[in-house]
């Protein structure tokens, strides 16, 4: 049966472990000059309806490096261009491709593609979630901290799509996740309640960044205004200012804390230049690991065992 990644709740802890293991192995082999071709003859379509550097290029490079072919479809295919129903496009693309990575606004649109395709559909970011980002970010946490359990992962900033995927990861993997968000910018209540309802992990939402980072092993931040919210940035700036990851905030955190950001970063807003470029920052490792994790995801989803 095909496997989709629409949200991280589509995955079990065993699925996550398989991705981590495969990505770490593929990264090691790639760095040793071994060029695996496990996706030879396969094609991945990419429908991207929002801008992307990292996700698009790392999925395309992952596909090409494993011997497969990425086909960038852009945003013309979704019904916007010719008003064609998604279910029609989805069925047509199923006959041409082995997998589909989609970045769009609406999670419902993604779900509709998944319902009407017979090939795996991968969420490459929606307004609600960014699941593949968080899978590869946990790989980076493993590399730097040796584990993802029994450590304190602290989200500081907007309760956005990336934070929602962290919440889902916490509910599947049993993470300790503390989210410090300004009042009125907490994560979606339904997503949070659903995750809390699983009774796995420890998920706490507060509005005090200083208190939140005290025992942090990992501090994670993201833009104050996500794609589609750009016009809100000027009104948000004032509310979000105390949530900037800067040297003063880091003074409240343990010395060995790592700082993460999915990028693109806005220096002087959610993170200072000094911290982004400083010794605690692992953002370049994060962006590199997207390549290796996307290889693992494609290798596993596009080469199903049964």
Binding site for ligand NVA (CB under 6 A): 125, 130, 160-162, 222-223, 226-227, 262
Q: Which is nearer to ligand NVA, 165 or 272 (CB)?
A: 165
Q: Which is nearer to ligand CP, 39 or 125 (CB)?
A: 125
Out of ligand NVA, ligand CP, none, what residue 53 binds, judged by CB under 5 to 8 A for its kind, is: ligand CP
Instruction: Give the 3-state secondary structure of residue 208.
Output: coil
Q: Which is nearer to ligand NVA, 30 or 105 (CB)?
A: 105
Out of ligand NVA, ligand CP, none, what residue 302 binds, judged by CB under 5 to 8 A for its kind, is: none
Q: Which is nearer to ligand NVA, 98 or 222 (CB)?
A: 222
In the block, residue with structure tokens 């104050």: 224
In the block, residue with structure tokens 């290798």: 299
Residue 244 is a binding residue for ligand CP (CB under 6 A): no
Q: Which of 22, 27, 42, 54 binds ligand CP (CB under 6 A)?
A: 54
Out of ligand NVA, ligand CP, none, what residue 162 binds, judged by CB under 5 to 8 A for its kind, is: ligand NVA
As a residue count, the chain comes to 306
Q: Which is nearer to ligand CP, 46 or 125 (CB)?
A: 125
Would you say 104 and 126 are in contact if contact means Cβ atoms under 8 Å apart?
A: yes
**Spatial CA neighbour of 138 closest among 302, 299, 285:** 285
DSSP one-letter code for 132? H
Q: Which of 52, 104, 163, 165 binds ligand CP (CB under 6 A)?
A: 52
Residue 290 contacts by C-beta under 8 Å, 6 or more apart in sequence? 54, 55, 58, 132, 133, 136
Q: Which of 46, 47, 49, 55 binds ligand CP (CB under 6 A)?
A: 55
Q: How far is the CB of 170 from ligand NVA (least distance, A)?
A: 18
Q: Closest residue (Cβ) to ligand CP?
A: 55
Angle at Cα 293 formed by Cα 3 and Cα 134, nearest 5°? 80
Q: How far is the CB of 133 from ligand CP (least distance, A)?
A: 5
Span near ligand CP by CB under 6 A; candidates 8-16, 48-56, 169-177, 182-190: 48-56
Angle at Cα 234 formed by Cα 228 and Cα 238, nearest 5°? 125
Q: Which of 4, 65, 94, 133 binds ligand CP (CB under 6 A)?
A: 133
- Pair of tokens at residue 78: 């979704």
Dihedral of alpha carbons 274, 277, 281, 286, sign: positive
- Pair of tokens at residue 264: 């693109």
Q: How far is the CB of 127 from ligand CP (least distance, A)?
A: 13
Out of ligand NVA, ligand CP, none, what residue 200 binds, judged by CB under 5 to 8 A for its kind, is: none
What are the DSSP E strand ranges found in 49-191? 69-74, 99-103, 121-123, 152-156, 176-180
- Pair of tokens at residue 142: 């493993």
User: Which positions touch ligand CP (CB under 6 A)?
Assistant: 52-56, 125, 133, 262-263
């Amino acid at each position: 049966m095909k496997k989709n990644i629409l949200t991280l709740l589509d995955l079990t802890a065993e699925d996550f472990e398989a991705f981590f293991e495969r990505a770490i192995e593929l990264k090691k082999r790639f760095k040793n000059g071994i060029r695996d071709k496990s996706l030879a003859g396969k094609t991945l379509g990419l429908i991207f309806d929002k801008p992307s550097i990292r996700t698009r290029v790392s999925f395309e490079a992952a596909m090409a490096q494993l011997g497969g072919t990425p086909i960038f479809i852009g945003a013309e295919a979704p019904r916007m261009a010719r008003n064609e129903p998604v279910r029609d496009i989805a069925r047509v693309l199923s006959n041409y491709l082995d997998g589909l990575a989609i970045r769009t606004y609406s999670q419902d649109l993604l779900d509709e593609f998944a319902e009407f395709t017979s090939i795996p559909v991968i969420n490459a970011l929606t307004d609600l979630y960014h699941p593949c980002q968080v899978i590869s970010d946990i790989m980076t946490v493993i590399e730097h901290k040796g584990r993802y359990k029994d450590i304190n992962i602290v989200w500081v900033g907007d309760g956005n799509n990336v934070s929602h995927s962290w919440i889902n990861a916490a509910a599947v993997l049993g993470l300790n996740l503390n989210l410090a968000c300004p009042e009125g910018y907490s994560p979606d209540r339904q997503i949070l309640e659903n995750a809390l309802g699983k009774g796995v992990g420890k998920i706490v939402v507060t509005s005090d960044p200083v208190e939140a980072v005290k025992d942090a092993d990992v501090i994670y931040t993201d833009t104050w205004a996500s794609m589609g919210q750009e016009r809100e940035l000027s009104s948000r700036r004032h509310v979000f200012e105390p949530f900037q990851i800067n040297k003063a905030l880091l003074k409240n955190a343990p010395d060995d804390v790592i700082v993460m950001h999915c990028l693109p970063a806005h220096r002087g807003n959610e993170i200072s230049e000094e911290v982004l470029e400083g010794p605690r920052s692992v953002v370049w490792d994060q962006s590199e690991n997207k390549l290796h994790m996307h290889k693992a995801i494609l290798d596993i989803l596009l080469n199903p065992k049964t």
